[in-house]
Structure 1
Amino acid sequence: MHNEISFSIPELSSMKHYPEKLYYRGNIELLRQPKISIVGTRRPNPYTRAMTFELSKKLALSGMVIVSGAAAGVDAIAHQGAGAENTIAVLPCGIDLRYPSANAELIKSIESRGLSISQFECGFEAREWSFVVRNEVVVALGDLLIVTEADHASGSMRSVEYALAMGKPIYVLPHRINESAATRQLLAEGKATAIDDMDRFVAFISQQGRNSIEDTPFIAYCRTNPIYDEAVVKFPNEIFEAELSGLIEVKNGRVSVL
């Protein structure tokens, strides 16, 4: 069972050709939220894995929706870090195929709690060129692009080309000399900005999102300056993560948004 998107998505107007059709499963309202695109290698090193997960989680807690391509590696980690309810998976195949099969359960959970979209008819199997087409949609949907690790001549760098053409800001993780050669080159050429302080970056990006759209239910609730014990009962998972991430402050038994 799938549906066809019947309204225009302003972000996709930055694409060279607006998709003729878009199919979806899940919560279409996520398209109306501030979105961040995250891409990267299918074989991330341990540092990239940990940082991608943490960054996605903190961005989602601050009200951002994470967009990625459901591929192995960085894509899957970004979806998992955000949580299925805060992520959009863009598929390179028909929406009924849940490709790659190794991530079928992840994609299924995103369909149930988040949003899965595709511009390909049901039954269409992923091909080399359809990954490129998928990447353009991933980049177009986000307010900015984050590349957590990438090598030269990779699919992630094709995504960077789209971001540059669309005028999207590009951010990367700082890496050691012999790692992620492509993102280090982007920094050297002044085409990307390094995320040197994750909490400061998340605070900056989430503020931009708040300036453009309503808060998430959790953040909106925190803005009412609730009693901490009541907030813990209402949002047990979010409250602790937000406190650790520096998104909220607990003072005199009450919660406030920083």
Structure 2
Amino acid sequence: MVASCEPDYPPLLAQLDAPPPPIAIRGDATWLKKPTIALVGSREGSAAALMFTERLAVDLGAAGFTVVSGLARGIDAAAHKGALASGAVAVLAGGLDHPYPPQNLKLHEAICERGAVIAEAPLGTIARARDFPRRNAIISGVSRGVVVIEAALRSGSLITARAAADQGRDVMAVPGSPLDTRARGSNALIKQGATLIESAEDVIAALGETTPSRPLSAGPLFEDAIEAPPPSTKLQKQILDLLSPTPVHVNDLARLLDAPSGAVAAALTELELNGREPRYLAAMQLRRAQASARRVRPSGLR
């Protein structure tokens, strides 16, 4: 237990008008004295957003930042995993002995060993829905800035962003597809003046830090590991020109190409077999998921 007047208390949190008088810390409190940045977002993050978050956390850790998040599923968990090697901090809504959610217990223990976990609630407290907004305000309170990655219009991540703005912290957001409801909140933040973020360099620049001495990120997020052969048919080439990491239904591809859906599905499968799957995983996964849903849907539903 650390009081706000003690040296181990997070320095940025102590600067708030009404900081939590005592907080509980498990792990190494010195991680909170380094430059800190919060990464938050959807609990149901897309594959692209999860990969981007983990890479962003790795790059920020390499640049000397401690990455802070809330131990939730999705974006939070990806941020913690990316930051484990360089120091991760998790903020809990309940007591230190009741981390939530249960599926992140192993991640919680790893953060305790390689970073720090903090909580305002006393030991024995089980997190309730009303406790999470307070936790979100602590996430922003211990951080120099908050990066929002995939947040719906009504989400806890936007509560964190509002708390950050009220506390005088920098608010940043990663843009998402206008077709994805998970990105509408983060896109709205950009419209309202949040800094648009595409890389760790953007975060560092927004905070007014100097450029890191070594380059960050190893290459494009969707870079193919092996050079795939060129498309063998005109239809395959047309499909490649339309596909992107944003999911699209095979029937929509067929409509746009004015081609039979069966032929488009066959061309997608052949592209996958030829090594194109890493680049177009989103489209392939969506097609499979929808096919699976059709198989299990009760006959009375449409």
TM-score (norm 2): 0.65
Q: Report what 2:143 is aligned to.
A: 142
2:217 pairs with one of 245, 250, 258: 245
> Partner amino acid for 1:122?
L
d(CA) in 1 for partners of 2:103, 2:17: 31
Deviations 1:194-228 (A, max 9, x none): 113x1532553687279xxxxxxxx9xxx8xxxxx
Deviations 1:228-254 (A, max 9, x none): xxxxxxxxxxxxxx65638xxxxxxxx
**Given the superposition, is the C-alpha separation of residues 183 and 205 from structure 1 closer, same or farther in structure 2, using an over 3 Å criterion?**
closer
**Given the superposition, is the C-alpha separation of residues 121 and 171 from structure 1 closer, same or farther in structure 2, using an over 3 Å criterion?**
same
Q: Report what 1:52 is aligned to.
A: 53
Helix, strand or coil at the partner of 1:133: helix
Tell me, yes or no, if the aligned pair for 2:170 and 2:207 is still in contact at 8 Å.
no
**Given the superposition, is the C-alpha separation of residues 199 and 117 from structure 1 closer, same or farther in structure 2, using an over 3 Å criterion?**
closer
Query: Given the alignment of the two structures, is residue 186 of structure 1 paired with residue 158 of structure 2, yes or no?
Result: no
d(CA) in 2 for partners of 1:201, 1:70: 24
> Partner amino acid for 1:245?
S
Taking the TM superposition and a 5 Å limit, the aligned residue runs for 1:163-182 are 163-179=164-180, 180-182=183-185
d(CA) in 1 for partners of 2:210, 2:28: 19
Helix, strand or coil at the partner of 1:37: strand
Q: Report what 1:132 is aligned to.
A: 133
Q: How many residues align?
A: 213
d(CA) in 2 for partners of 1:128, 1:181: 23
Deviations 1:90-133 (A, max 9, x none): 11111012221110000001111110111111110001111111
d(CA) in 2 for partners of 1:155, 1:178: 21
Q: CA RMSD in A?
A: 2.3
Helix, strand or coil at the partner of 1:151: coil
Tell me, yes or no, if the aligned pair for 2:66 and 2:83 is still in contact at 8 Å.
yes
Q: Report what 1:200 is aligned to.
A: 201
Deviations 1:32-72 (A, max 9, x none): 10000111110001111111111111000111000111111
Structure exhibiting the larger radius of gyration computed from Cα positions? 2
Shift of residue 189, structure 1, vs aligned partner: 2.3
Deviations 1:166-197 (A, max 9, x none): 1211111121112211111111222x11113x
**Given the superposition, is the C-alpha separation of residues 16 and 150 from structure 1 closer, same or farther in structure 2, using an over 3 Å criterion?**
farther
**Given the superposition, is the C-alpha separation of residues 244 and 173 from structure 1 closer, same or farther in structure 2, using an over 3 Å criterion?**
closer
Structure 1 residue runs of 5 or longer lacking an equivalent are: 211-218, 224-241, 247-258
Deviations 1:67-99 (A, max 9, x none): 111111111110001115511111111101222
**Given the superposition, is the C-alpha separation of residues 109 and 84 from structure 1 closer, same or farther in structure 2, using an over 3 Å criterion?**
farther
Tell me, yes or no, if the aligned pair for 1:15 and 1:137 is still in contact at 8 Å.
no
Tell me, yes or no, if the aligned pair for 1:163 and 1:170 is still in contact at 8 Å.
yes
Tell me, yes or no, if the aligned pair for 1:84 and 1:114 is still in contact at 8 Å.
no
Helix, strand or coil at the partner of 2:99: coil
Q: Report what 2:224 is aligned to.
A: none
**Given the superposition, is the C-alpha separation of residues 33 and 205 from structure 1 closer, same or farther in structure 2, using an over 3 Å criterion?**
farther
* Percent of pairs with identical residues: 30
d(CA) in 2 for partners of 1:166, 1:207: 18
> Partner amino acid for 2:195?
T
d(CA) in 2 for partners of 1:165, 1:66: 20
d(CA) in 2 for partners of 1:178, 1:49: 18
Structure 2 residue runs of 5 or longer lacking an equivalent are: 219-302
